[in-house]
Amino acid sequence: MNARILSDLTVPLTALIALEAKFSHLPAPNVDFCPVYPDRLRLSLHDDLGAFEAWREALNIDPTAVVHRVQGGGGTRVLKVHGRFAGADIELVGFTPVPALEPVAAGSGAVS
């Protein structure tokens, strides 16, 4: 494979500029693009699934397409979905801690 050059990333760079112009009011995501997937722009949001949802709605991505996973030994919830915007494949990812369950005290009336 030949080494890519910066101009090979025109699609995600152009999409990023268009996102800023249209959605500058939304929470700022981490932004990634790489030469391995030259048409992909990855937006990741941490510790705020509300921000993930705001971006998903703004990009008009079907909520049923969102994939939910848990990583980090069950400590981190991950939501991931792909959509299209300005010619780019948008990979939207949200990370948030999984809340710890509080132990149920004996005799508390909890049903097991």
The reply to whether 47 falls in a domain is yes
Q: Given a cut of 70, is residue 108 above it in pLDDT?
A: no
In a domain, 50, yes or no: yes
Q: Does residue 59 lie within any of the structural domains?
A: yes
Chain segment 47-103, per-residue pLDDT in tens: 999 999 999 999 999 999 999 999 888 889 999 999 999 999 999 999 999 887 666
pLDDT at residue 104 is higher than 70: no
Q: Is residue 20 situated within a structural domain?
A: no
Provide the whole-model pTM.
0.84
Q: How far apart are CA 76 and CA 26, in angstroms?
A: 23
Contact 51, 45 (CB under 8 A): yes
d(CA 2, CA 86): 26
Q: What is residue 70's three-state secondary structure? A: strand
Angle, CA 91 vertex, CA 89 and CA 96 arms, to 5°: 170
How far is it, in rounded angstroms, from Cα 51 to Cα 14?
22
d(C-alpha 44, C-alpha 30), whole Å: 5
- Residue 38: inside a domain, yes or no? yes
Domain assignment of residue 19, yes or no = no
Q: Which of these, 12, 16, 53, 54, lies nearest to 35 by C-alpha position?
A: 12
Domain-located, residue 57: yes
The alpha-helical segments, DSSP class H, found in 1-112 are 10-23, 49-58
pLDDT band at 6 (very low <50, low <70, confident <90, very high): very high
Q: Higher model confidence: residue 3 or residue 58?
A: 58
| Structural domain that includes position 62 | 27-97
**pLDDT exceeds 90 at position 15:** yes
14 in any annotated domain: no
Task: Give the total number of structural domains in the chain.
Answer: 1
Strand partners, 89: 40, 84
